[in-house]
Amino acid sequence: MGKNVTGVGRPRASGAAASSQNAREAVLEAAGELFTGAGYAATTTRAIAERAGLRQASLYYHFPSKEDILAALLAATVRPSLEVAGGLSGGDAPAAVRLWALAYADIRLLGGARYNLGALYLLPEIASPNLAPFRAEREQLKAVYRDLVAESGAHPDSVAVRSNLVFGLVESIAIIRRDDPVLDVEAHAVEGADGVLRVAGLPAPDATLRAAARALLPRS
């Protein structure tokens, strides 16, 4: 394929705007589009560089391999939620309120990101050594959910299964988005966080709990 075959796309980084940071961002933007569109395996670093308007050498300067680009994209799907979780852990809000806040923020992140990067979680490449840091961060996030489910009063025998289902419900927004690309993200985040509390075995949340949970989150 030649350059710019499709004729679609945004203005490319160029001139003064083509700083190192911008080049990195352009690579991530192009890769997010291609990985979730054409697919990870079908996308070459050459295609990413072309789409980003960069020479391949510039791409390799920032990302030595295609897996490094995948790792950076996937980090952006868990790191903000880990930061939310860190902010919630200091306060004295009830576990149910913190669980609602985390699930709401996490579904909004996964559901509202420009590209549906959660759809990449099931790639075989996730098992690669290069992806170990992402796997570790995702495990950390899952552990926070597990602790909140346990603290919410779930029976110890059911904590493991229920926290698997809670985490699965949150991440299933990737499948839901695939089916319906013009999703009402806010409605799914609210109903999804309600559902997380119910799956954890907690009483159905009310408007007071939701307002208390939203108040714990940074303004977005």
173 binds a copy of itself (CB under 8 A): yes
CB-based contact 74:131 (threshold 8 Å): yes
Of 14-22, 48-56, 58-66, 197-205, the segment contacting a copy of itself by CB under 8 A is 197-205
Nearer to a copy of itself, 130 or 164 (CB): 164
CB-count burial class (<10 Å; 0-12, 13-18, 19+) for 47: middle
Work out the number of other CB atoms within 10 angstroms of the CB of residue 14.
10
Select from 72, 76, 165, 217 the one that contacts a copy of itself (CB under 8 A).
165
What distance in Å separates the CA atoms of residue 81 and residue 141, rounded to the nearest whole number?
A: 7
User: Rule CB under 8 A: is residue 47 a binding residue for a copy of itself?
Assistant: no
Cβ-contact 81, 131 below 8 angstroms = no
143 touches a copy of itself (CB under 8 A): no
Q: How far apart are CA 209 and CA 94, in angstroms?
A: 10
Pick from 33, 50, 106, 171: which binds a copy of itself (CB under 8 A)? 171
Contacts 24+ apart (CB under 8 A), 159-167: 162/199, 162/200, 162/201, 163/200, 165/199, 166/103, 166/196, 166/199, 166/200, 167/142
Q: Does 150 bind a copy of itself (CB under 8 A)?
A: no
* Identified binder of a copy of itself from the candidate list 84, 199, 209, 213, rule CB under 8 A: 199
Judged by CB under 8 A, the chain residues 107 through 126 that form the site for a copy of itself are 119-126
> Is 192 a binder of a copy of itself (CB under 8 A)?
yes
42 binds a copy of itself (CB under 8 A): yes
Which residues contact a copy of itself (rule: CB under 8 A)? 36-42, 119-126, 142, 158, 161-162, 164-165, 167-169, 171-176, 178-180, 184, 187-188, 191-192, 195, 198-199, 201, 204
